[in-house]
Amino acid sequence: MPSTHLKTVGLGMAHDGDLLFTGLDLVLRSGDRIGVVGPNGAGKTTLLRALAGEIPATAGTVSLAPGARLSHVPQAMLGQDASVAAFLSAGLGELAAVTARLRDLETRLAAGDDVLDEFGTVQERWTALEGWTAEARLAEIRQRLDIEHLADDLDVRKVSGGEQARLLLARALLADPDLLLLDEPTNHLDAAGAAWLRTWLRDFPGGVIAVSHDRAFLDEFATRIIELDGIDEQPQDYPGCGYTAYRAEKQRRWQRLLLDFEAQEKDRLRWEADIEKTKGFARGVENAVRSGVEAPHLRRVARLVARKAKVRERRLRRQMASVKWIAEPRTRPPLTLAFPGDDAAGDEIVLEIKDLSISYGDRVLLDGVHLDVTRGDRIFITGRNGAGKTTLLRALADRHPDVAVLPQTDEGLRPRTTMIDFFRERVPVYIDDAERLLAGHQFEESQWTAPVRDLSAGELRRLLLAVVVNSPSRILLLDEPTNFLDFEALDVVEEALRRYKGTLLFASHDRYFAEAVGHTRHWHVDGGRIAESRRDPA
């Protein structure tokens, strides 16, 4: 039987006094592949942090098997002060310290110091820890996750948000853990990197829990889905399911619940009508007695009938209070997303770049690029990590300030400003209109005056999307628009963009999204150049 690495009993978590979920019983064994899904703000990241021991449980227990090695990959790197080499080496545990000591002794030996005996001892330990293998693994992981270009002495605080996310993932994989906790692991990976990660996870012998909104990833990775739906306090379990199977089973469960609730409501109405009928009969007998009909047996009948009505009423109330009673099914308020009206296509050039060249150090991202965009174009931008997709979108935005931009990461976008002030700084509307628009994007009134920095990554993504949608611009530049969005939001965004008649440029690694939205032009960024192909809109 596979080894058990982690167990929860009745786990519950709250945030700022509000219960997120409760009653989670979970056992994670070697080979388990569990996907955690749910709307933004439902507690998915909080769950991973509790499992990792970073925050205490509100209720229940989390137990890690003695000696089990756990690696947690968060969505973002916070408060790190280290070089790239030191940050990655931390994932090697003892081997990192042994390697550093070995390199120091090599230098001292070369200088003529008498440290040969210690060198032999340290080298023996280094070999026992499989130092050669670890160095090869480090090189492969850096290459596969496209971070090999980062200099060893580079401060991790100076790399991009996407590169930080890949550094976090690389360090976790280097640690050779027994169980992995991954928070949106594919958000900053290109197609090749995501494919490599799926292969690596398939061969990984330990257990994995991954929070993800990547539908292709969940279909290939997960053998069980746990949903935190933000409505029911009890997490929903979908054993044997990837993403597609989970969505189908969720719909089946919802239909069964509706049918059961409707049948229960019919029974309730019938019982209540019967109770009222019995009460009415008892009242009629009492009225007859009061009107002068002197029949002792009528009084007895009235009392018996009234008692019968009370018994039936108590029985109904007990049933309604029992755990078997089905509460009225609830859904979240729908996300409303509607872009401005039609903007007919034409030959007018609305964006243009001539002879654009951009380099970072020795890396040439764009080399003499010439581009033009005509009104109504729908352009899908692809390329490996670091090829220059984000750089291209930023260059277009810098040269054409009237465009609306959805950035890839939240770098510099977590101020102390309240949500409603943040929104109104970017969308010039009256405060009551701002409140209505934010409510349409599933933000509750209590969140409007909360600092933006307190939002989850998915909630911030929805806020930025609200800004873009309500911008007067008819040109949208979207950089990895599906990052951090929950499934419900993805469905709505895809449909809205599919119907959008303005000019659209989007960079994405999500093949589901790209096909759903449709495009007329495809730009592939590689080696400083942009290769183009055209297609009919979907």
- Quickly list DSSP for 474-505: SEEEEESTTTT--HHHHHHHHHHHHH--SEEE
Q: Residues 6 or more apart from 155 whose CB is under 8 A from it?
A: 81, 82, 83
Task: pLDDT band for 292, please (50, 70, 90 cuts).
Answer: low
- Would you say residue 294 has pLDDT above 90? no
One domain, residues 402 and 509 = yes
pLDDT in tens, 313-341: 777 677 666 657 777 777 776 666 666 65
Calculate mean pLDDT across residues 517-533: 89
- Give the range among 131-135, 210-214, 228-232, 252-256 with minimum mean pLDDT: 131-135
* 387 found inside a domain: yes
- First-to-last alpha carbon distance for the chain, in angstroms, is 49
Position 311 in a domain? yes
Q: DSSP assignment, residue 120?
A: H
Among the residue ranges 136-140, 271-275, 290-294, 349-353, the one predicted with the least confidence is 290-294
CA atoms within 13 A of residue 524's CA, in its CB half-sphere: 8
- Average pLDDT on 9-19 reads 89
* Residue 511, pLDDT above cutoff 70: yes
| pLDDT at 467 > cutoff 80 | yes
Residues 100 and 172 reside in one and the same domain: yes
Q: How far is CA 513 from the centre of its chain?
A: 15
With respect to residue 308, please indicate whether it lies within any of the assigned structural domains: yes
Q: Is the pLDDT of residue 286 over 80?
A: no
Of 29-43, 76-90, 266-280, 327-341, the one with minimum mean pLDDT is 327-341
CA 474 to chain centre: 28
- Contacts for 321 with CB less than 8 Å, ≥ 6 apart: none
pLDDT, average across residues 41-63: 93
Residue 46 has pLDDT above 90, yes or no: yes
Chain centroid, CA 244 distance in Å: 17
Confidence of residue 537 (pLDDT cuts 50, 70, 90): low
SS3 category, 368: strand
Lowest mean pLDDT among 74-83, 95-104, 378-387, 505-514: 74-83
Same domain, 363 and 284: no
Report yes or no on 182 lying in a domain. no
Q: Do residues 378 and 473 both lie within one domain?
A: yes
The 10 Å Cβ neighbour count of residue 413 is: 15
State the pTM of this model: 0.75
The confidence score (pLDDT) of residue 350 equals 84
Contact 67, 206 (CB under 8 A): no
- Place 299 in a pLDDT band, splitting at 50, 70 and 90: low
Looking at the fold, whether 401 and 300 belong to one and the same domain comes out as no
Q: Looking at the structure, do residues 269 and 353 belong to the same domain, yes or no?
A: no
Determine the structural domain holding residue 281 and report its residue range: 261-321
CATH number for the domain that contains residue 375:
3.40.50.300
Chain position carrying tokens 């069980």:
224
Residue 495 lies in a domain: yes
pLDDT in the model for residue 13: 94
Q: Which residue has the higher pLDDT, 70 or 231?
A: 70
End of a domain among 106, 141, 176? 176
Q: Is residue 55 situated within a structural domain?
A: no
pLDDT score, position 79: 62
- HSE, CB side, 13 Å, CA atoms: give it for residue 109: 12
For the chain, the C-alpha Rg in angstroms (whole number) is 30
- Higher pLDDT, residue 403 or 308: 403
Same structural domain, 164 and 91: yes
Among the candidates 127, 154, 176, a domain finishes at: 176
pLDDT of residue 112: 80
Taking phi over 0 as left and psi of -120 to 50 as alpha, with beta for the rest, 292 belongs to left
Are 390 and 511 within one domain?
yes
What is the distance between the alpha carbons of residues 266 and 199, in angstroms, rounded to a whole number?
52
Decide if 208 is inside a domain: no
Range from 49-58, 432-441, 458-467 that averages highest in pLDDT: 49-58
Q: What is the pLDDT of residue 216?
A: 86
End residue of a domain, out of 144, 176, 208 = 176
Name the pLDDT band for 410 (thresholds 50, 70, 90).
low
The answer on 381 and 488 residing in a single domain is yes
Predicted confidence band at 180 (pLDDT cuts at 50, 70, 90)? very high
**Per-residue pLDDT at 345:** 59
Mean pLDDT of the chain, nearest integer:
83
- As for how many domains the chain has, the answer is 3
Mean pLDDT of 74-91: 80
292 versus 139: the higher-pLDDT residue is: 139
pLDDT at 501 over 90: no
Helix (H) or strand (E) holding 21: strand 18-29
Q: What is the pLDDT of residue 365?
A: 83
Across residues 145-156, what is the average pLDDT? 85
User: pLDDT, tens digit, for every residue of 358-405?
Assistant: 887 777 888 888 888 888 899 999 988 778 888 899 888 888 878 888
Confidence grade of residue 111 (pLDDT, cut at 50, 70, 90): confident
**In terms of domains, do 424 and 370 share one?**
yes
Give the pair of three-digit tokens for residue 302. Answer: 């009235």
